[in-house]
Amino acid sequence: MSQIFRLFPLFLVFISLSGCGGGGSNQPAATPLSISASGIEGGVVLRRASTGEEWTITENGTVSIADFVLDGDIEISVKPTSALQVCRINGQSDSVTIRATDSIDIECDNKILFVSLAGFKLEVADSKLWLVGGNGETQALAEGRIISLFSKIGLYHYFDLDNELWRTDGTMEGTVPVELDGKAFSSSVLDFIRDDNSFFFIAKDPDEKAFLYEVDSGGVINPILVPERIDISELSIAKVENNYVFYNRNEKRFFTIDTNGLISSMLVLEETETPISTLVYDNELLILTMFEDGVRKLRSLSGADSQFKIIPLPTSTETPITADIYGDNTLLFNATQEEGEDKACKIIYRYKEAVFEVLVDYCNQRTNFTHYATTYHDDRLLILERANSNSELYDLLELDLSSLTQQTLASAFDIKGGVSEMTPTNNFLFMKSRTSIEQDCSNFILCNYLLRYYALSYQTGEIVELVDSNIESGRHWFISVIHGLNAFKKATIFDRVFFQYTHVEFGLEPWVTDGTVAGTKIVKDIKPGAEYGLFPDVEGELQN
């Protein structure tokens, strides 16, 4: 009997370690760390504060770390391996204290790059490239006379600095010119699918001979074979299942080039036919064209095809229709049907494998409403509309793209002016509106606009005006937005929206909002005082 009592403590230890013991202990059972990760590009390093142990996570989805044992309250932190990213744990910050029973959710998002231009004197280095972090912290990475942002490919963002190709990894040390083997950067090539994951450019040798290149996701620059008789500057390019499809804008011809340099013509548009939407979706190249008489035609090319095929449109060929990709996997066609003099209605279709599915029909179903704008967030459409019975107030309709269920998130709210921009976050919808303040505004370039900035809460349906309205010159609006010298359109980090705003004390500078008035503030006063920091005061420049 005494032998049994001597072995009893060991028996209790065994039960405790195997997780089979009964109650009596306030400590949670030891369990490996299970993590849900999203948005990671490159990787993140998870660190346990008490021991300094580190684990690297490179995949998105559910990740299990067997040797990271949760045995009570612990402090952990996460740091992205890419300086172009910012990460947080459980929707809070990059360092939190968690309990053994907590679920671990790591989210990463890309920081924001934008360009500021202080003046128009080309002999002066007036342009700067800025990096903005999750809390609004800023860092100037490069400066020169003119800077133009291109695409983020893999872990690098490419840009033009004074007619030279550069790239940055988000650090000063990693912001460097791109080596082109003795060739000089000439220009980017129009990627007619408007794909931010692709970047093509032209470089020339000392004899001015032009060469075409593509940057892949690993930062490797690959040459693309193009016969010398083809003017590369006339080309647009798309990639379908690793095959290049070229479009010669002068000849209106689509073609491919094989590894021996032989050209195979695929499609020649008619003289009166012009592409109005060209994009790649689900390994399918779609070309929507319009003739001078207004007739539309849709063609498709999959990776297995050698020729385009015609896809019947869901409406009359004379009906105005446009196409665009929303999010990562939703292709929408928006058709506008005339209902009479100065009156039209809209039908929104989802496209998949040559099939058009009606999502919202304002011509036959939601006839009591008028569509104004659509945006996408997290597998749902957010649609701004107005009830015909009260054309002064807006409603916000949500459409779940999985279940196709609809619900109105907010009703009869007031926005002054026409909504020109919508930026969704998880918690609120940021909206910018503008109204002409001149009676005669036939030339919009010369008009002045009154701009307003709003945030609408999904949960409460309440809308707030975030800052005082300000007057923005039409010339200023035209130059800064259309030419893309400021990269603030739809610029978000997690639940913060970055936008450009002209304040009486700061001039035109970058601002950020969390959807509340109290959380709306200037990011950086690039040129201290009332001088414009993001872009020159065009009105003042013209007057001088």
Tens of pLDDT, residue by residue over 128-169, are 999 998 888 999 999 999 898 888 888 999 999 999 999 999
What is the residue type of 199? F
Across the chain, mean pLDDT equals 84
Report which of 186, 168, 185, 188 is spatially closest to residue 176, judged by C-alpha positions.
Answer: 168
Residue pair 346/363 in contact (Cβ under 8 Å)? The answer is: yes
Predicted local distance difference test score (pLDDT) of residue 183: 94
Predicted local distance difference test score (pLDDT) of residue 162: 93
Which residues share a beta bridge with 86? 109
Q: What is the pLDDT averaged over residues 197-216?
A: 90
509: helix, coil or strand?
Answer: strand
Tens of pLDDT, residue by residue over 20-46, are 344 444 544 556 778 899 999 999 999
Query: pLDDT band at residue 15, thresholds of 50, 70 and 90?
Result: very low
Non-local CB neighbours of 179 within 8 Å, separated by 6+ positions: none
Q: How far apart are CA 371 and CA 356, in angstroms?
A: 19
| Helices and strands of the chain, counted as H and E runs | 3, 44
- Does 298 have pLDDT greater than 50? yes
Query: pLDDT band at residue 305, thresholds of 50, 70 and 90?
Result: confident
191 or 488: which carries more pLDDT confidence? 191
Predicted local distance difference test score (pLDDT) of residue 153: 87
Predicted local distance difference test score (pLDDT) of residue 239: 85
Q: What is the pLDDT averaged over residues 186-204?
A: 77
- Does 476 have pLDDT greater than 70? no
Residue pair 151/159 in contact (Cβ under 8 Å)? The answer is: no
- Does 248 have pLDDT greater than 70? yes
CA end-to-end span of the chain: 104
C-beta neighbour count of 181 within 10 angstroms: 9
